Amino acid sequence: MDKLLEKKIRSLFKKWSGNDIGSITELPSSGSYRQYFRVKSKDISVICAYNQDVKENNAFIVFTNHFLKNNLPVPGIFAVDEPGHIYLLEDLGDITLFSLLSETHSQQGFTDDFISIYKNVIDILTKFQVEASKNFDYTVCYPRAQFDKQSMLWDLSYFKYYFLKLAKISFDEQYLEDDFQTFTDFLLRTNCNYFLYRDFQSRNIMLKNGSPYFIDYQGGRRGALQYDIASLLYDSKADIPQNVRNELLMYYIDSLSKHLTVNKKEFIEFYYGYVIIRILQALGAYGFRGFYEKKEHFLQSIPYALDNLSWLLENIDLPVKIPALMDVLHKLSQSDKLRQLVKTNSKLKITINSFSYKNGIPADISGNGGGFVFDCRSLHNPGRYEEYKTLSGKDKEVIDFLRKEPEMYEFMNHVYGLVDRTIQNFLIRKFTHIHVNFGCTGGQHRSVFCANLLADHVNKSFDIDVELYHTELEKSNFKLS
């Protein structure tokens, strides 16, 4: 972490709580450039958000205060620094609806328990959209106050440039642009005067003590009701079965009907148009993060989005003529090359890090979450001895020292057992990433040695990709080979 940023976080936390920080741990990044940290003192744990975009931060803060006044389950805001770059939030834990789905869906399917959770979420969504939209200050929305034609065209251009072009899907640009105009005109014919959450999906729904809480609504604005329920039910990697989607859509309409009069036929007619534009927005994001920024885990969502497109193309007829856009969607859904491209990136990968507890646990940039953190500080430390202080766990002298320690192999045998079992399970469940960290005081001797042992063990035992990083060594003058 940047030292100046750490100093500012410590200062804000101290000013708010009166306590000194015990630990700062960076949390896994998502699809934005915001940074999140879990900040702890002896008795307090909060989430710290850092974002240079003051307007976006202000939107989140104003929205949060409004939602709390309307008794909606969102995180409390405890403190904001003077420039508005850093704010402290209620810690809602680590369980998202998506992580819960990932853990159990592949083994148990989409159970009645999940359907109940989704129905609870839907009931709260309608309150966000209708009740909380009353007296809402849309002037602070960022970057626009409404999901209007301009916003839609931005999303469609994002899809065109960062997905279609990077995926090398052929199209006639003028005809496609003409269809973008026609498509957006159609979408805007429905009522667009409700609060639109904008990114209402399973990763942005936290579960604390079994109850849902909602995050990441800073992109909210005025818009159509159909968009958010489309985002939730066609959330790519949530992979909700189509019959469950149909059931939940009907439940949503019934829930919405408690707040206002709904023309079911008209609602559904526009709904599937919003499903399509949401999928195209998501594909644009997957293309930018995956193809352009080379963040492979975003590519894993593409086959689910293509499956959703295939179902829509086979079962839904939109009441609007957009032949060039439909031609592109058919090419996407039938692209063996695109599906194969994703398939080649779906091999299980394990990332193994050594680190110093002084600087915090390395963030999981895969986006998968979970994994292991092993504390090596109970092991005999060669760093206590003068002859090893300038060496690392990659040097022969340190390796020989640690190999003589019986406790080292007892420790590592436990590690091998846990990691091996996880790899075997993840291979069956088609997971794509495991994150393993070894920490010690300086990130120089014991953690490096243990990380190397595990990397060697995994390479010999499994046909998976292994990435090995020594966090402290890579930013110091220690030898890396």
Tell me the DSSP string of 324-381.
HHHHHHHHHHT-HHHHHHHHTT-S-EEEEEEEETTT-PPP-TTS----EEEE-TTS--
Q: Which residue type sits at 252?
A: Y
DSSP state of 388: G
pTM given for the model: 0.74
The token pair at 285 is 């994001």
Q: Are 381 and 446 in contact (CB under 8 A)?
A: yes
Q: Give the number of other CB atoms < 10 A from CB of residue 313.
A: 16
Whole-number pLDDT of residue 342: 55
Q: Determine how β-strand 194-196 pairs with β-strand 86-90.
A: unpaired
| CA distance linking residue 230 with residue 33, whole number of Å | 25
Q: What CA–CA distances, in Å, run from 271 to 161, 199, 466? A: 25, 16, 43
CATH class name, domain 3-90: alpha beta
Residue 321, classified by CB atoms within 10 Å of its CB into exposed (0-12), middle (13-18) or buried (19+), is exposed
| CA distance linking residue 78 with residue 91, whole number of Å | 11
Whole-number pLDDT of residue 108: 74
* CATH of 97-343 among 3.30.200.20, 3.90.1200.10, 3.40.50.410, 3.30.390.30: 3.90.1200.10
Question: Which run of H or of E encompasses 233?
Answer: helix 225-233
Q: What CA–CA distances, in Å, run from 80 to 19, 25, 36, 48, 176? A: 16, 19, 14, 10, 45
Helix axis angle, 173-187 to 149-159, nearest 10°: 140
* ∠ CA 142-145-150, rounded to 5°: 95
Whole-number pLDDT of residue 212: 98
195-233 CB burial, b ≥16 within 10 A, e <16 = bbbbbbbbbbbbbeeeebbbbbbbbbbbbbbbbbbbbbb
| CA distance linking residue 153 with residue 332, whole number of Å | 20
Q: Which residue type sits at 405?
A: E
Q: Coil, strand or helix: which one is 176?
A: helix
Residue 152, classified by CB atoms within 10 Å of its CB into exposed (0-12), middle (13-18) or buried (19+), is buried
The token pair at 298 is 């975003």
Q: Which residue type sits at 387?
A: E
Digitized pLDDT (tens) for each residue of the chain, 481 residues in all: 688 999 999 999 999 999 999 999 888 766 678 999 999 998 999 999 999 999 999 999 999 999 999 999 999 999 999 999 999 999 999 999 998 888 776 567 788 999 999 999 999 999 999 999 999 999 999 999 999 999 999 999 999 999 999 999 999 999 999 999 999 999 999 999 999 999 999 999 999 999 999 999 999 999 999 999 999 999 988 889 999 999 999 999 999 999 999 999 999 999 999 999 999 999 999 999 888 887 777 887 888 899 999 999 999 999 999 999 999 999 999 988 777 665 455 678 899 999 999 888 887 766 666 789 999 999 999 999 999 999 999 999 999 999 999 899 899 999 999 999 999 888 877 788 899 999 999 999 999 999 999 999 999 988 888 989 998 887 654 443 3
User: Would you list the domain boundaries of the chain?
Assistant: 3-90, 97-343, 349-474
Largest interatomic CA distance in the chain: 79
What length does the chain have?
481
Whole-number pLDDT of residue 107: 63
